[in-house]
Amino acid sequence: MLAYLKTYLTMVSTLISFIGVVNLAVDPLWYTQGNKLNPINVPYNERLTKTNLLLHSDRRKYDCLIFGSSRVTLLNSKALKNNVCFNYSFSAGTAEEFVKYAEYVKDKGVNPQKIYVGIDAYNFTFDKKTALKNKVEVAEPKPAYQSYLFSLDTLQLSLKTIFRLNTEIRFYDQDFQGKVFANAPKYKPEFVDKKTQEKCNFSRIAYYKQIRHIFPNAKIVGYVPPISVWKLFNESYARGLLDCELQAIYEASKSYDITYDLSYPSEITTVTYNTYDGSHYYPDVNNQIAQVLEGKLSSLGIRIHQYNLNEYQQFHKSKLKEYLYKEGEGKRW
């Protein structure tokens, strides 16, 4: 009996050791320095992993925060030269989540001088994925020994990373900066006239404004990330949502110091080689966006509040109309 127990305990300790070694080597939840086997950190749960990264770093060094969706995860925080920024963006991020995480980092002692906030139109048209979250909780990590020594779920993430079994197109490098895999699909868009009964919902405007109340002394810079002209047409204009989405963006950004819009038809958004889906743009584009946000590049984007609401809406629509007619698609207008 004693021999069986000894064998059993040996097997269990060997299994736990194996799980721990693999998980520590890959570090899929970012407790230490990320993946030590190769420079690929897969974004399995960015809300959790980025919270972990924040908690296990010197939080005092951050004088800048970035909030946004997966589009904003590809904004390299090191390309923002004026500050030391922590990019707290995550997939399908919504305004009410930004508020909750802003409160959380403030409670953890971060006091930013600068905050960048990505504003996505989908925040104002609700469906199953983008519905308002009435209750938001910060994804606080468990102790490392629980997550890495005794978790087969974490081991599964580690093995998926090792054997490249994940389906993500984005990843984070060894410095936790957003990148795109070299084998990302080519973007092959087309215009689609799809009508909808949806209407805009302005509930989230208040959440965007609430960030100002959490950090009243910070300079807040909003920006609307680039969206391909095809997605702009298909998801906003063709569905009759463009005017109200622009109104919501305009109102949401009123309490910010400055807000840039890069989502209208432009030299960035009317080509297909700089994005893999018309929504997520490659790092070189985001490096240009960083220059725009720091006021170093004026040839891209517009400052929203140089316009009144009607002028802002007309600017967008005139750019879209101009492009459609130029491409022989004027019948869609």
pTM: 0.95
Whether residue 9 is predicted with pLDDT greater than 90 in this model: the reply is: no
pLDDT tens for 57-77 read: 999 999 999 999 999 999 999
- Confidence (pLDDT) at 267: 97
HEC profile of the chain: CHHHHHHHHHHHHHHHHHHHHHHHHHCCCCCCCCCCCCCCECCCCHHHHHHHHHHCCCHHHCCEEEECCHHHHCCCHHHCCCCCEEECCCCCCCHHHHHHHHHHHHHCCCCCCEEEEECCHHHHCCCCCCCCCCCCCCCCCCCHHHHHHCCHHHHHHHHHHHCCCCCCCEEECCCCCEEECCCCCCCCCCCCCCCCCCCCCCCCHHHHHHHHHHCCCCEEEEEECCCCHHHHHHHHHCCCCHHHHHHHHHHHCCCCCEEEECCCCCCCCCCCCCECCCCCECHHHHHHHHHHHCCCCCCCCEEHHHCCHHHHHHHHHHHHHHHHHHCCCHHHC
Name all domains of the chain by residue range, CATH numbers in brackets.
59-146+174-332 (3.40.50.1110)
Does position 101 have pLDDT exceeding 70, yes or no? Answer: yes
Is the confidence at residue 244, as pLDDT, over 80?
yes
What is the pLDDT, as a whole number, of residue 2? 67
Instruction: Encode pLDDT of 125-136 as tens digits.
Output: 988 778 898 899
Confidence of residue 6 (pLDDT cuts 50, 70, 90): low
Q: What's the mean pLDDT when you consider all of the chain?
A: 94
| pLDDT above 90 (res 268) | yes
Q: What is the pLDDT of residue 128?
A: 75
Q: What pLDDT score does 237 carry?
A: 96
